[in-house]
């Protein structure tokens, strides 16, 4: 379903095969794959951009990285949280899933509340990615400031699977 470039980058990230990459088996290896995937998803959408997590110096490791997809006039519409994959299990453990779930919910709530106040963005979609495994979310901020975040999938799925592909395409279609 994904382009050969996304598939190759995802496979390399899963194997840790990035020449000169000091972050073997970390979320850094997945950045190129997810950045390319987001670019392909939103290429037809027009005025948007992808923002990596700010403030990291070279060789500095963060257990969670973030990418936001923003439209120039509307503000952020998708937050993708990319988590450390140093354990390299076949699937993320329940503890890893719980930690990633809490992190993406916290980030989405923070973004939703600040953006609702500044530019009226009420709906924000989120993706928690633990290496190649994803889970999607939707956040709605009411005019009174109440914020609700719900999962769109019951469990983490591999982004290259049919279900993972459908989940990402569905979010892109909802945002556009």
pLDDT of 2 reads 92
Q: Is there a contact between 85 and 118 (Cβ–Cβ < 8 Å)?
A: no
- Rounded to 5 degrees, what are φ and ψ at 159? -60, -25
Q: Is there a contact between 165 and 124 (Cβ–Cβ < 8 Å)?
A: no
Most confident of 63-77, 139-153, 161-175: 161-175
Residue 13 above 70 pLDDT?
yes
Confidence band for 164, pLDDT divided at 50, 70 and 90: very high
Q: Count Cβ neighbours within 10 Å for each residue of 79-118 and write b for 16 or more, e otherwise.
A: bbbbbbbeeeeeebeeebbebbbebbbebbbebbbebbee
47 vs 81 pLDDT, higher one = 81
pLDDT of 7 reads 92
End-to-end CA separation in angstroms for the chain:
20
pLDDT of 112 reads 73
Whole-prediction pTM: 0.80
Q: Percent of the chain at pLDDT above 70?
A: 68
131 vs 147 pLDDT, higher one = 131
Residue 108 above 70 pLDDT?
yes
Q: For residue range 110-145, what is the model confidence (pLDDT) as tens digits?
A: 877 776 666 666 788 889 888 889 999 988 877 777
Confidence band for 162, pLDDT divided at 50, 70 and 90: very high
Residue 14 above 50 pLDDT?
yes
């Amino acid at each position: 379903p994904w382009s050969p470039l996304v598939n190759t980058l995802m496979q390399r990230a899963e194997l840790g095969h990035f020449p000169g990459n000091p972050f073997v088996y970390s979320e850094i290896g997945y950045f190129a794959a997810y950045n390319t995937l987001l670019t392909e998803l939103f290429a037809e959408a027009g005025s948007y951009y992808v923002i990596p997590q700010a403030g990291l110096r070279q060789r500095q490791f963060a257990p969670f990285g973030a990418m936001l997809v923003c439209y120039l006039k509307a503000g952020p519409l998708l937050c993708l949280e990319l988590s450390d994959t140093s354990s390299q299990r076949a699937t993320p453990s329940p503890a890893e899933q719980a930690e990633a779930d809490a992190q993406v919910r916290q980030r989405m709530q923070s973004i939703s509340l600040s953006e609702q106040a500044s530019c009226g963005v009420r709906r924000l979609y989120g993706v928690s990615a633990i290496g190649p495994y994803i889970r999607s979310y939707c956040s709605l901020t009411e005019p009174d400031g109440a914020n609700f975040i719900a999962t769109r999938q019951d469990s983490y799925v591999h982004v290259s699977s049919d279900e993972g592909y459908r989940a990402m395409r569905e979010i892109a279609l909802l945002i556009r």
